[in-house]
Structure 1
Amino acid sequence: MGYCIEEECFAMTITKSLLICVGIKILMCINKVLNSSSNDAGIDSDWLDEGDRRSAFVETNNRVRPLHLAYVAGYKLQGGFSDIEMKLAMENILVEPEVKMKWIKQIPKGLREDFLKACDEFIKPTQIQKELDESGGNLLHIAARLGSEKLLSLLVPCNSSELTSLAFEKDLQDCTPLHLAIKNAHKAAAMHLIQVAPATAYWDRKGGSPLYLAIKSGYLDLVLQIFHHLPGTDIDSSTRKQIIEAKKTSIVYAAIRAGSHSSSTNDMLRTIMKEIPHCIDSINKKGWRPLSYAAFKGYSDEVSYFLNNFPDSALKPDIDGSFPIHKAVCADHLEIIKQFLSLCPLAMDVIDIKTGGSILHFAVRYNRSDIFSYLRKKTSKRIRNLKDRQGKTIKDLVNDLHKSTRSE
């Protein structure tokens, strides 16, 4: 038992000795500062080696750290650590600041303290570097994901371009900060990023551009904001071509779908077509043009808009050789067909390029009896007697249909 007591006393003596050594070095630093003529008093951390730096953050039995005493006394830490890094260390970051706080270098020195204070509302400083390492990107990505307009305003004020380049960087998922703000429905944050760097709204990725995401989500206010700061007519030709040729993430098809889910007029589609009218020739992944897609889906308002504002689109074939009115016949949309004949009568005479079939041929092939009855009274004699590429007239197809029906 005596041996154990002696051993414990010896350990306590060693611990106290180490703390005294650290304290002496820190006091030497403080004394140096007090004796200096500099007005900006500070502790020169170059006087502390790596081991002493670690010890300087270790608490004693009464939960007091050597550096805490210096900090409370009003001395700033100079040299190896910045003022902000010491504050982070005081928040129990028990790893080397160089490893855990690389993100600080992205912030101008004059903004670091304000940024740290703003972070307290949204994210722990200890979590920032972890997220950057896992997801890539920069501090704007974190602020956008959190939806913090306050953090974004600190990093990229609307009247400053010092850090605007950060808005164009992408994370490991190929997303810009604006992508993340819109995906997470942080509209205020998205508005700020659009003001700072509107060109990023047109940056495409596998999941679509921010403009596409805003349209898909039905955020008309964001779309209007994008076009206000960078009109579609002002974008460069390569970007315009990319937008028009996008198949899976086409903005015009997203606008058509967004309008179809709303009871109001499709303002989204009107806005898109006003800014980028060339979208009328966009081809989706099925090889269809916008009017064909709207006709097949039975979107009456969108069909009416296209026929009134882009009447030539009714006479342009899709990749499969058929025309928009053919799609309406296939999908059995009689009211859509009536719109075609009323607003673009020439659509009555279009012939499918691959099969050579008229709209009457399609009505019989797809067994659309109501449409056939309506069109037979409207079509010309030439169309009624027309032979397709198999050499069959409408009458031949009708007879074939009756035979197959009787055999069943």
Structure 2
Amino acid sequence: MARPQRGGRGVRTAHLQLSLSNLRLVSTCAVRNTSHTMKHELLQAVTTRNNDLLEEVLGSNRIVMEALLKGITAEGNSALHIAASHGFLELVEMICHMNGSLIKAMSNYFDTPLICAARAGHDDVVSHLISLVSTENKLDEALLRASNADGATAMHEAVSNGHFTVLKTLVLTEASLGATVNARAYYSGPDGKTALHAAVLVSEDMTKSMRLWQPMLTRRGDDFGNTALHYAISDGRIGVVNLLLEDSTLAYLPNCDGLFPVHIAAIVGHAHIVDQLFKLCPNCDELLDNKGRNALHCAIEHGRMKVVRNICKTPSFTKMINTRDKQGNTPLHLAIKHGFKSMAVLIMLDIRVSLNIMNNEGLTPLDVAIYECDQCTSHAASIAAVFTVPGGYIAEGENVGVPVLSKMPEFMSFMEFTFLAFEFSIVAIVLLLCASVPDISERDRRHRICYPLALYARPIYSQFGLLFAALLGHRLVQLLKQLRSRYPWQDIFCILSSVVFYALINNIPVSQVNKGLPWQSSHNWHGCLCHGDESLLYPS
């Protein structure tokens, strides 16, 4: 077998990738384990704000002084880093006077003293560090746009930690430097986030200041294309959203996945922000992402019932209800596919919904429902298992074929509840068919659900009461036979429970339904459906 050539292109490429990976690992992890070279007395002086001890440790010898100040901690922090982090302005002035080059020093996390001071919110230290190098524009630029290992600049750290005064100082500094500073690097942060991305998550006032300082930041996206408006909506900050939407064109800026702000609001379930976006930007219902989905598609896929309800009750959003995505699925297709029954019923109650739209696979919503039911069979008992009698049958003797447990009252209870399960399954199928049959649009589909359910629920209109009474009578006979058992009070309790249960079932308050179609005359439908969400199924 031929041996691969050493130094081939593939080998060199793999070796280069490994080398780059190792280099990044060293730059971000390994260098953080540096040796502690700072003198203990110096560390004690800068952490306790002891000016006298600092002067005593450093002495008067310039060479010794600079050598001592080059000492670092295990995390690579110099004495200036520590003093700036604590906000000790006098110590910062002393150290910078003794060794001004420490202003550019970086820790193992690539933090400069300016970044440390901005993160801690010490605006006086920030102002002093900037003023020391204000005469050298090149150094100013390098200092201001320097970023740490997380990609955050001094401004981004100030905004992220809510230090408004530090932000103001940095903004004024940038304005004085004008075009000298690389603006994009100046306000950039991790993953391409700008300072405005961080500001919208902190406060409305800081967002307003950043917006007034650099209006173009509102249109700048991060590495994933998300603007500050995307972040504000995701965090549910309605005040910041209203502030940013003073420029309504921001609502039409998508991210890399094609998700507009209205899609984000629908995904996270902020119904009040969705309403606000539709109010300020009426054509948001036409915005589609890279998958061809509108806001209603996204709300359904993520189970946001309140958003779906608000959209469905708005007459002007008919187009959204029947819009197909790139796979041809309407919102009703998705509601059924993801198993959101309440959403599916809510959408079907709307007369604007077309039930005959097929997706790219040629499936209508009803076809999808049937397909999903078939898929669920793998997670449930089969029909044969349901009909299998527990305990088996007697194999020999005069009672061949009789269930082994036939003399136990629990066995009869099992058979009774199995019958009831099939009874209610039939009702569910009938209701689905009544609701899904396409008809002329004037007929209210809500009545087509209520009418058959009312007919079924009232025992005088069905055989349910008779069948249940017969089964209950058989159950009572079986229990009475057990009164001679060792625990009669348990059997008496079972009898009383059965009687009470039957009384409750037989007296469910269901309104009488007169002859005629429900949409041809007015009826008192109060109480016809008691499913907890009255606004969902009650006809208006």
Same fold at TM > 0.5 = yes
Q: Which residue of 2 aligns with 1:20?
A: none
User: Residue 383 of structure 2 corresponds to which residue in structure 1?
Assistant: none
CA shift, 1:213, in A, is: 1.3
Kindly indicate whether residue 148 of structure 2 is the aligned counterpart of residue 223 of structure 1.
no
Structure 1 pair 283–369 and aligned structure 2 pair: CA distance change class (3 A): same
Indicate conservation of the 8 Å contact 1:233/1:275, yes or no. no
Cα deviation for residue 329 of structure 1 reads: 0.6
Letter in 1 for 2:147: D
After TM superposition, list the pairs within 5 Å mapping 1:45-124 onto structure 2. Answer: 119-120=51-52
Change (3 A) 1:356 1:148: same
Match of 1:368 in 2: 304
Residue 205 of structure 1 aligns with which residue? 148
SS in structure 1 of the partner of residue 71 of structure 2: helix
Matches of 1:399 and 1:362, distance apart in 2: 14
Partner of 2:220: 282
Q: Is residue 345 from structure 1 mapped to residue 282 from structure 2 by the alignment?
A: yes
Q: Pairwise mapping of residues 289-368 of structure 1 onto structure 2 (< 5 A)? A: 289-308=227-246, 310-352=247-289, 354-368=290-304
Q: Matched residues in 2 for 1:299 and 1:100: separation?
A: 46
Aligned residue type for 1:342: K
Displacement, 1:212?
Answer: 1.2
Q: Are the aligned partners of 2:267 and 2:298 in contact in 1 as well (CA < 8 Å)? A: yes
**Can you list the C-alpha shifts for 1:11-36, whole angstroms capped at 9, x where unaligned?**
xxxxxxxxxxxxxxxxxxxxxxxxxx
Residue matched to 1:56: none
Query: What pairs with 1:164-175 in structure 2 (closer than 5 Å)?
Result: 166-175=102-111
298-307 vs 143-152, which deviates more? 143-152
Q: Which runs of 5+ in 2 are unaligned?
A: 1-36, 40-48, 60-64, 135-139, 342-368, 381-540
- Give CA-to-partner distance per residue, 1:348-374, whole Å, 9 cap, x none: 22111x211111222222222221121
Matches within 5 A, 1:149-168: 149-154=89-94, 166-168=102-104
- Tell me the amino acid that sits aligned with residue 206 of structure 2: M
State the match for 1:125 in structure 2: 57
Q: Deviations over 1:271-311 (max 9, x none)?
A: 12222223223334654222112112211111111111x32
Matched residue SS, 2:106: coil
Supply the distance in 2 between the matched residues of 1:144 and 1:302 (Cα, whole angstroms).
32
Alignment check: 8 A CA contact 1:244 1:278 kept: no
Is 1:389 matched up with 2:332? no
Partners of 2:166 and 2:123 in 1: CA distance: 7
Shift in Å, 1:216: 1.6
How far apart, CA to CA, are the structure 2 residues paired with 1:315 and 1:191? 39
RMSD: 3.7
- In structure 2, relative to structure 1, the CA distance for the partners of 1:123 and 1:297 (3 Å cut) is farther
Does 1 or 2 have the higher relative contact order (CA < 8 Å, sep 6+)? 1
Q: Structure 1's 363 and 232: CA in aligned 2 closer, same or farther, altered over 3 A? A: farther
The structural deviation recorded for 1:153 is 3.6
* TM-score (normalised: structure 1): 0.59
Q: What SS does structure 2 have at the residue aligned with 1:257?
A: coil
Q: Aligned letter for 2:128?
A: H
Shift of 1:179: 1.8
Please say if residues 144 and 152 of structure 1, whose CA atoms lie closer than 8 Å, have aligned partners that are also in contact: yes
AA at the equivalent of 1:210 = A
Q: Describe the superposition over 1:304-339 as per-residue Cα deviations: whole angstroms up to 9, x where unpaired.
A: 11111x321211111111111111111111111111
Of 385-394 and 397-406, deviating more is 397-406
Partner of 2:111, secondary structure, is: coil
Q: Alignment identity in percent? A: 21
Q: Secondary structure at the match of 1:133?
A: coil
**Larger of the two Rg values belongs to structure:** 2
Contact 1:195/1:229 (CA < 8 Å) preserved in 2? Answer: no
Q: Deviations over 1:55-78 (max 9, x none)?
A: xxxxxxxxxxxxxxxxxxxxxxxx
Counterpart secondary structure, 1:231: helix
